[in-house]
Each structure stands twice: as structure tokens, then as C-alpha cells.
């Protein structure tokens, strides 16, 4: 597109079919774009691919901003069932988003915002709001140019706000889905407007290996890639996902079918840890290929990552940790916890073997047998009453048997109820979430949430300051008296019961800045019994494990 045509894009007039962009100061070509799509099946690992590629470019000195599009009509991920969509990840600004953003943050060691995430629901709600406000100058609002134009503005504005050298866009779903067809069209238009050398298309496809045949087959991948090409997008790079390294003859077939040079058709097989993927991509010269396509220059990559990977692969010790929850049938429900354990395990030179404990089947009578052989347990977050009493039984067993215990959000509340019932002697103590008419509501709805209506809008979300008591066990773990953590909850420890709980031996060593909301608890009689009202797993990083997880795994090793 020439300068005259680009000028027309920004002109608010009905004389042209171009979208009237609202961006000020945007210069085509200043920011480069990488668009990542998937074909054949969903759940390929596009999030890992995107995060690793972003990290490799970051290692070369480039500023990279990732963005995820999800095609569902929810405004955000906050109301999605973990069984359907996996973990809901929370950002500093309170955005409830897809778990892929957690993958981005971990690999980039950064903090993202709402600007890095958009759903179809968010997209259409903003477009319709603009239509009601008369922002489209009487035009009939269409997918082209208005919806695709809004998407391009959103993508470009991320580059402007973050001053990114590269914006990396992961398109959720699979090529051929109705839900992402208009987004893919917007990404086609983006390359048309930005010009040659400014947009790189990557397709992550799947290579089948039917058990009856015993060999890899590329036909489904070829059809998937051609479906993308039929939408006007010629991929520059193809990443072939498979359970094992992709054979060269299979890569050759994909190369011929996609017009992509063989050296840019890379194998993306399963590995023992996702943290080994960066080296695999380096060996494939993937980052160099992207930089050549986009005309980017950067420094030689540093190598401080492999030592971390080697600690994962060659641990000196082993520990068994029980995750006692109700979503144990889908491990993605606890993705950030699993990663945080892997980070802490590497820091403590041990491999963490996770045992899944379904709490709906746990009682005081069978807790000992169900938790036998574990070096520590985690009671994770969650909502609803199913498995609640089993979690209390787990907390009680850990407290009475000095088993390392880490309670996260709901696990904090579980520990409070356990102590209230079994140490304070408050019969019927409970959370009003589980029993609205509990005689002793030791956990109740936060006062500031009482007047908020709607499931998606009545939670305390995002990063908040936590004041840590000097000289406490938490103070020792953090090495500080103040920290910032991410929250996602509606209920809290009832302030009316704090004194009685403290008299029973609980210590509330972390509070909000007004000292009204209890945010960290510990039970000093035990070697490690800690609960946090926040979610420390969201801030754990490969080379910087979260202090609570690091301390928990160290205690498990000693146990």
C-alpha cells in the first residue's frame, strides 16, 4: 500500500472503503508483526510456541509484546469452567484471561495487561458501543472494514503503547473455525497495509501417526495449511507438532504443499519439559529465520537458560506433593501451580512428583490413608461446595501431623475453618459461600463485594500490596516486609474472628495496607503451614521461583 492509500485509511470520510483508523502517531513498518495460527487440531501448543519464539527474540535484545485472541463471545475468561478451558490466569490489572498469557509471562519474565488479550466478546462489545455513540458516521457497520479495522487498531496500538520492536499475535483456535475467520482476515489485511517484510506468518500444524499404520502422515497438515492459504495467507514458517521428531520426508511433503522452504518447516516434537523448547528452536534456527524474514537485527543470544533445564532433568532428590482439589481430572486447571512447583523443584535440586487427590472423596477417617507417603500437600483455589469438606480434612491432617501445607486462596480459607472448628471449638464454623447460615461465619463475603451484582464482576482481582509482619515466618521466606501479589477471590477471613483464631495459634502475618483483610496465615507450631489469600503461582518464574513455593518445596525435601 502506498502513502496516498495509507492516508486514506486514516481519513474520516465516506468516500473510501478503508477503515477510518483512530490511531495517532502510528508509522507503518516501525513495528514488525508475527502472526501464529494453528491447523488440523486445537490444543497444539501454540501458546508455548508463541512464548518461546518471543523469548528467543527478547534474548536477542528486541522488545517483544505478545497478544492472544480468543474467539469465544465471553468478555473475558473469568466465568469459564476450568474443565472446558483450563486455568483462568489473572494479570496485575485484574484481567481474567487465557492460560497462554501465563506462559508468555513465565518465558518473558514480564507482566502483561489487558492490552495483551482480546476475546470476540470484548471486540464486539466495543464495536457496538461505538456504533451506538455514532462513531461510524452513519455507515452500515460491517465485518470489513469495521471489525477487521478495529482488530488491526488493537494490534497496532499494542505496539505503540509498549514501543515494541515486534508484536507477536497468537490466533486462538484452528484454521477453518468460524470463530476466528474474521480475525485471520484482519491479519491478512495487516500484511497488505504494512507492506512486504513487516509481517511474518507462522502456522503450527499437527502431524498424525495412526496406531494402525505406525508411520507419520502429513495429509491432514497439508489440507490445514491449504485452508489457511485459501484465506489469502501464505505462511513463511511451518512448525510441525508431533509426539516424536518429524521425519524429513514428511517435512518435504509439507514444504511442497505449502510453498515454504524445507529449512523453514521445523519439527516441534514432545519434550520432557517445555523449558527445553527454546534450545530445540535455536537448533532449528527458528529465531534467525524470523529475523531474516522481518529484516531485524539483534545481538547474539545469551545462554543462561540451559543450567535451569539441566537442574530439571538431573535432580538430586525426589519429593511427592499432593494437589488436593476437585478439578484433578484436567491438569490444565492447575497449570500455574504445576509450573511453580517445577520452578521451585529446580531451585531445590529435586524433582516434584505430583499426586492428584480428589477431595470429594476425602474424610477425617480416610485422610491418613489417602495422603500416605506424601511429603507435602497443596490445597489450591476453587469455587463451590463440592470437595470442600475433604479439603478441610486435608488441612486438619496436615496441621495435626506436621505435614508441609500450602493453602492457596480457598486453601487459606480451608485452614481458617479447620482451626476454627478443631482448635477454637467453634462448632459449625464455615464459609458463607458453602453454608450461608453458618453459626460461625469465619469466612464471609468481602464487604466491598456485597453490592456488586453479576458473577463476572464481583471479585477482588489483580495485584495488591501485602504488608508482611516483621519477624514472621513469611517475612523470612520473602526477605521483605512488603510485596505485591495477585488476587482472585470474593470471600475473606471474618475480622470478628481474627482474635480468637490468633489465640488458637494461627498467625496472620500478611495483611492489606489498611490491616483489615488477612492475606497470609501461618501456624508456627508446624515446620511449614502457610496459607495465602492470593495466588502466588501467578508470579512464579523459571529463574525466580515464588518465595512461598520455594519454601514449601524446601520443607518437603526436609520432610
Q: pLDDT by residue (tens digit) across 191-238?
A: 999 999 999 999 999 999 998 888 999 999 999 999 999 999 999 999
Higher pLDDT, 268 or 136: 268
Distance, CA of 164 to chain centre:
21
Residue 5: active-site member: no
Q: How far is CA 475 from CA 74, 469, 478, 525, in A?
A: 40, 6, 5, 17
H/E stretch holding 38 reads strand 32-38
Rounded Cα distance, 223 and 225, in Å: 6
Q: What is the mean pLDDT of the chain?
A: 92
* pTM (global) more than 0.75: yes
Positive or negative, the Cα torsion across 374, 378, 383, 385? positive
Statement: residue 1 has pLDDT above 60: no
Query: What's the CA gap between 189 and 186, in Å, rounded?
Result: 5
Q: Read off the pLDDT of residues 514-529 as tens digits, 9 standing for 90 and up.
A: 888 999 999 999 999 9
* CA–CA separation, 236 and 36 (whole Å): 10
State how far the Cα of 61 lies from the Cα of 54, in Å rounded to an integer: 11
pLDDT mean over 241-267: 97
Angle formed at CA 404 by CA 338 and CA 495, multiple of 5 degrees: 95
Per the annotation, the verdict on 350 as an active-site residue is no
In sequence order, the β-bridge partners of residue 238 are 203, 265
Run of H or E including 157: helix 148-162
Report the run of H or E that residue 256 belongs to, with start and end: helix 248-258
State the pLDDT at residue 449: 55
- Pick 288 or 83 by higher pLDDT: 288
Percent of the chain with pLDDT over 90: 81
**Residue 455 confidence (pLDDT):** 47
- What is the pLDDT, as a whole number, of residue 8? 47
| pLDDT > 70: percent of the chain | 94
535 is catalytic: yes
Select which of 97, 350, 394, 409 is catalytic. Answer: 409
Mean pLDDT throughout 100-107? 97
Rg (CA), the chain: 25
Domain with CATH 3.40.50.300 in the chain: 33-294
185, 433, 537, 546: which one is catalytic? 537
Q: For the chain, where do the domains classified as CATH 3.40.50.880 start and end? A: 308-558
6 pLDDT more than 50: no
Q: Which fold, 308-558? A: Rossmann fold (3.40.50)
The Cα 314–Cα 319 span in angstroms is: 14
Measured CA distances, 235 to 110, 238, 415 (Å): 29, 7, 52
Query: What is the CATH number that goes with domain 33-294?
Result: 3.40.50.300
- Indicate whether 483 pLDDT > 90: yes
Closest CA to 205 of 221, 194, 192, 220: 221
Could you give the 3-state DSSP secondary structure of residue 131? helix
Q: Inform me whether the pLDDT recorded for 431 exceeds 80.
A: yes
Q: How confident is the model at residue 24 (pLDDT cuts 50, 70, 90)?
A: confident
Amino acid at each position: 500500500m502506498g502513502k496516498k492509500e495509507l492516508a486514506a485509511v486514516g481519513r474520516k470520510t465516506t468516500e473510501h472503503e478503508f477503515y477510518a483508523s483512530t490511531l495517532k502517531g502510528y508509522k507503518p513498518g516501525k513495528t514488525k508483526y508475527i502472526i501464529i495460527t494453528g491447523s488440523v487440531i486445537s490444543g497444539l501448543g501454540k501458546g508455548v510456541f508463541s512464548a518461546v519464539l518471543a523469548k528467543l527474540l527478547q534474548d536477542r535484545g528486541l522488545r517483544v509484546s505478545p497478544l492472544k485472541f480468543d474467539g469465544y463471545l465471553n468478555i473475558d475468561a473469568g466465568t469459564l469452567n476450568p474443565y472446558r478451558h483450563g486455568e483462568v490466569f489473572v494479570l496485575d490489572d485484574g484481567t481474567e484471561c487465557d492460560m497462554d498469557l501465563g506462559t508468555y509471562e513465565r518465558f518473558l519474565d514480564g507482566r502483561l495487561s489487558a492490552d495483551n488479550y482480546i476475546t470476540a466478546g470484548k471486540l464486539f462489545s466495543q464495536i457496538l458501543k461505538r456504533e451506538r455513540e455514532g462513531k461510524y458516521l452513519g455507515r452500515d457497520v460491517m465485518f470489513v472494514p469495521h471489525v477487521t479495522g478495529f482488530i488491526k487498531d488493537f494490534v497496532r496500538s499494542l505496539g505503540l503503547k509498549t514501543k515494541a520492536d515486534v508484536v507477536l499475535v497468537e490466533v486462538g483456535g484452528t484454521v477453518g473455525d468460524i470463530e476466528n475467520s474474521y480475525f485471520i482476515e484482519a491479519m491478512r489485511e495487516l500484511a497488505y497495509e504494512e507492506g512486504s517484510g513487516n509481517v511474518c506468518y507462522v502456522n503450527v500444524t499437527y502431524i498424525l501417526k495412526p496406531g494402525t499404520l505406525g508411520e507419520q502422515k502429513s495429509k491432514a497438515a497439508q489440507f490445514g495449511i491449504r485452508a489457511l492459504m485459501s484465506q489469502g495467507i501464505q505462511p513463511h514458517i511451518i512448525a510441525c507438532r508431533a509426539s516424536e521428531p518429524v521425519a524429513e520426508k514428511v517435512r518435504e511433503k509439507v514444504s511442497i504443499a505449502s510453498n515454504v522452504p524445507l529449512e523453514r518447516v521445523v519439527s516441534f516434537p514432545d519434550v520432557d519439559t517445555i523449558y527445553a523448547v527454546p534450545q530445540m528452536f535455536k537448533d532449528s534456527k527458528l529465531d534467525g529465520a524470523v529475523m531474516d524474514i522481518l529484516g531485524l537485527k539483534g545481538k547474539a543470544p545469551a545462554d543462561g537458560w540451559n543450567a535451569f533445564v539441566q537442574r530439571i532433568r538431573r535432580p538430586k532428590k525426589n519429593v511427592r506433593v499432593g494437589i488436593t482439589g476437585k478439578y484433578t481430572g484436567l491438569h490444565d486447571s492447575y497449570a500455574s501451580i504445576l509450573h511453580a512447583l517445577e520452578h521451585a523443584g529446580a531451585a531445590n535440586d529435586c524433582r516434584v512428583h505430583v499426586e492428584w487427590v480428589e477431595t470429594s472423596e476425602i474424610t477425617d477417617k480416610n485422610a491418613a490413608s489417602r495422603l500416605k507417603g506424601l511429603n507435602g500437600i497443596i490445597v489450591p483455589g476453587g469455587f463451590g461446595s463440592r470437595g470442600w469438606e475433604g479439603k478441610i480434612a486435608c488441612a486438619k491432617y496436615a496441621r495435626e501431623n506436621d505435614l508441609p501445607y500450602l493453602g492457596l486462596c480457598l486453601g487459606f480459607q480451608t485452614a481458617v475453618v479447620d482451626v476454627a472448628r478443631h482448635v477454637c471449638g467453634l462448632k459449625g464454623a464455615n464459609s458463607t459461600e458453602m453454608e450461608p447460615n453458618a453459626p460461625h461465619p469465619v469466612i464471609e463475603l468481602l464487604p466491598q463485594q456485597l453490592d456488586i451484582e453479576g458473577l463476572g464482576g464481583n471479585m477482588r482481582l489483580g495485584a495488591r500490596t501485602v504488608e508482611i509482619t516483621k519477624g514472621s515466618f513469611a517475612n523470612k521466606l520473602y526477605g521483605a516486609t512488603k510485596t505485591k501479589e495477585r488476587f482472585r477471590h470474593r470471600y475473606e477471613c471474618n475480622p470478628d474472628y481474627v482474635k480468637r483464631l490468633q489465640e488458637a495459634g494461627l498467625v496472620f502475618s500478611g495483611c492489606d495496607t489498611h490491616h483489615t483483610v488477612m492475606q497470609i496465615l501461618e501456624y508456627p507450631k508446624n515446620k511449614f503451614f502457610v496459607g495465602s489469600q492470593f495466588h502466588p503461582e501467578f508470579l512464579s518464574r523459571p529463574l525466580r521461583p515464588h518465595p512461598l513455593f520455594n519454601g514449601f518445596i524446601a520443607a518437603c525435601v526436609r520432610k
